[in-house]
């Protein structure tokens, strides 16, 4: 039983009620009372406050039976919007979403610089432009959540981004001063894992999500919580050393996993072997279908290198679900079987290995979801944007 002062209990009840309204889509006051265990008076007061705040709305349910139509409650998705931003190495992606995670507007811009101040000004300008598009919403654009491909501390400061060579940057404060909007900074792999939980794997409490594009990052969810470590830097598995004295990495070590098992590494190897630039996913799919010997060999090595890292991670975390977020894996026939054939250790235990359906959009989707969760002040969030 939760105890505490009245304001704290009221806040917990509000959070619980909002979570259940989102989870069920539409729900009556009576069913809210049954599901939450809260009495009808408490439900009535909380619902009245949420209606006054325009965070929920009520509507009559259509039915064909005689009698009074029940009144259902739903989230007012148009009360506010949130902005998800993914700052990658060569591009920046923005997605503006409503309070149910449905994208309203998305843009991707090429990034031709790593200069911190130039990128700061660029992102601030774009945030302001998106802010202006939300003026008709009651609460406007309530926050911007930014995905960083590097180490982010628990205070949301950036410790290091290898690709841009940023060290000890306070992007959160710098952007808030320029835009006046609440900004949150999070590691991209954490947001990718959060997106999987929010949009796909709603009832999984132990999930690992491995993002495999320009580098490799690991989002860790254990017992329903994102694991960040002492400083907040947990999950940098791309810099796990799998080949001592191997290739030199920008992190300062040699033989890091992402130099052998990221999409960037695969495309780099194929470009050198085939003397061809601008290789696409479709190219790889075509070459594999034709059983091109060079490409087939490179893919075999790629799978082997992925498997080395997976073995290590499984032994470390004993996960229920492992999600691999990589577009190229969708183009490799029988990839799950190929990977699992290399995971033969009797001590490595997990339940399922899957390829993400969310793809590269997962990062900004996770950013938007975190913005929604923070704004509504709820402890858990499940969304469905498939319809």
Which residue has 């996993």 as its token pair? Answer: 257
**Residue 156 confidence (pLDDT) above 60:** yes
**Residue 352 confidence (pLDDT) above 60:** yes
Q: Where are the alpha helices (DSSP H) in the chain?
A: 6-24, 29-36, 40-52, 116-132, 171-179, 188-199, 258-261, 263-274, 281-289, 293-317, 335-340, 362-376
CA 3 to chain CA centroid, nearest Å = 33
Contact 325, 211 (CB under 8 A): yes
Bridge partner residues of 27 (DSSP) = 73
For 241-273, what is each residue's pLDDT tens digit? 999 999 999 888 999 999 999 999 999 999 999
Under the banding of pLDDT at 50, 70 and 90, the label for residue 226 is very high
For 6-75, CATH number out of 3.40.50.2300, 1.10.10.10, 1.10.40.30, 3.30.505.10 equals 1.10.10.10
Contact 78, 98 (CB under 8 A): yes
In percent, the amount of the chain with pLDDT more than 90 equals: 88
Neighbours of 184 (CB within 10 A): 16
The DSSP 8-state label assigned to residue 108 in this structure reads E
Nearest in space to 134 (alpha carbons), one of 105, 174, 100, 92: 105
So what's the pLDDT on residue 66?
Answer: 56
So what's the pLDDT on residue 4?
Answer: 56
Q: Quick check: helix, strand or coil at residue 99?
A: coil
d(CA 154, CA 232): 5
For 28-67, what is each residue's pLDDT tens digit? 999 999 999 999 999 999 999 999 999 999 987 665 555 5
Under the banding of pLDDT at 50, 70 and 90, the label for residue 345 is confident
The DSSP 8-state label assigned to residue 54 in this structure reads T
d(CA 157, CA 137): 30
So what's the pLDDT on residue 157?
Answer: 96
One-character DSSP codes across 221-251: EETTEE--TTTS-TT-GGG-BSSTT-SB-TT
Q: What number of residues does the chain have?
A: 387
The DSSP 8-state label assigned to residue 149 in this structure reads S
Contacts of 380 by beta carbon, 8 Å cutoff, 6+ apart: 19, 224, 373
**Annotated domain spans of the chain:** 6-75, 81-193+362-376, 203-356
Under the banding of pLDDT at 50, 70 and 90, the label for residue 126 is very high
d(CA 19, CA 376): 9
So what's the pLDDT on residue 68?
Answer: 66
For 163-199, what is each residue's pLDDT tens digit? 899 999 999 999 999 999 999 999 999 999 999 999 9
State the average pLDDT over residues 349-358: 95
Helix, strand, coil percentages for the chain (3-state, nearest 5): 40, 20, 35
Under the banding of pLDDT at 50, 70 and 90, the label for residue 346 is confident
State the average pLDDT over residues 365-372: 98
Bridge partner residues of 94 (DSSP) = 85, 107
**Residue 306 confidence (pLDDT) above 60:** yes
The DSSP 8-state label assigned to residue 74 in this structure reads E
d(CA 103, CA 95): 6
**Residue 1 confidence (pLDDT) above 50:** no
Give the full edge-to-edge strand order of the sheet including 141-148.
103-110, 91-97, 81-87, 141-148, 182-187
Q: What dotted CATH number matches 81-193+362-376? A: 3.30.420.40
d(CA 370, CA 101): 10
The yes-or-no answer to whether 6-75 and 81-193+362-376 have a common fold is: no
Superfamily in which the 203-356 domain is placed by CATH: ATPase, nucleotide binding domain (3.30.420.40)
Q: How confident is the prediction for the chain on average, in pLDDT?
A: 93
């Amino acid at each position: 039983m939760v105890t505490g002062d009245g304001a704290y209990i009221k806040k917990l009840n509000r959070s619980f009620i909002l979570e259940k309204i989102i989870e069920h889509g539409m729900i009556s006051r009576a069913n809210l009372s049954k599901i939450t265990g809260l009495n009808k008076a408490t439900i009535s007061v909380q619902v009245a406050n949420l209606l006054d705040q325009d965070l929920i709305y009520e509507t009559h349910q259509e039915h064909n039976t005689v009698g009074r139509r029940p009144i259902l409650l739903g989230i007012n998705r148009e009360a506010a919007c949130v902005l998800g931003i993914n700052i990658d190495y060569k591009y920046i992606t923005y997605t503006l979403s409503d309070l149910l995670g449905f994208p309203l507007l998305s843009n991707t811009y090429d990034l031709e610089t790593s200069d911190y101040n130039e990128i700061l000004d660029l992102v601030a300008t774009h945030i302001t432009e998106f802010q202006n598009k939300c003026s008709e919403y009651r609460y406007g654009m309530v926050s911007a959540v930014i995905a960083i491909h590097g180490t982010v501390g628990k205070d949301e400061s950036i410790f290091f981004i290898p690709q841009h060579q940023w060290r000890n940057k306070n992007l959160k404060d710098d952007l808030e001063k320029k835009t006046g909007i609440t900004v949150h900074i999070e590691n991209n792999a954490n947001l990718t894992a959060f997106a999987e939980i929010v949009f796909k794997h709603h009832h999984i409490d132990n999930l690992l999500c491995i993002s495999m594009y320009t580098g490799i990052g690991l989002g860790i969810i254990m017992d329903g919580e994102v694991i960040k470590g002492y400083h907040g830097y947990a999950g940098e598995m791309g810099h796990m050393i799998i080949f001592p004295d191997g290739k030199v990495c920008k992190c300062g070590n040699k033989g890091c996993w992402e130099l052998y098992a990221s999409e960037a590494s695969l495309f780099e190897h194929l470009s050198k072997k085939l003397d061809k630039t601008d290789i696409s996913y479709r190219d790889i799919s075509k070459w594999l279908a034709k059983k091109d010997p060079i490409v087939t060999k490179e893919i075999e090595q790629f799978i082997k290198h992925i498997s080395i890292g997976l073995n290590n991670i499984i032994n470390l975390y004993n996960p229920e679900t492992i999600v691999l977020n990589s577009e190229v894996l969708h183009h490799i026939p029988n990839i799950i079987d190929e990977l699992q054939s290399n995971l033969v250790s009797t001590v490595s235990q997990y339940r399922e290995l899957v390829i993400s359906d969310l793809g590269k959009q997962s990062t900004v989707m996770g950013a938007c979801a975190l913005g929604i969760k923070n704004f509504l002040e709820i402890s858990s969030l499940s969304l469905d944007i498939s319809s």
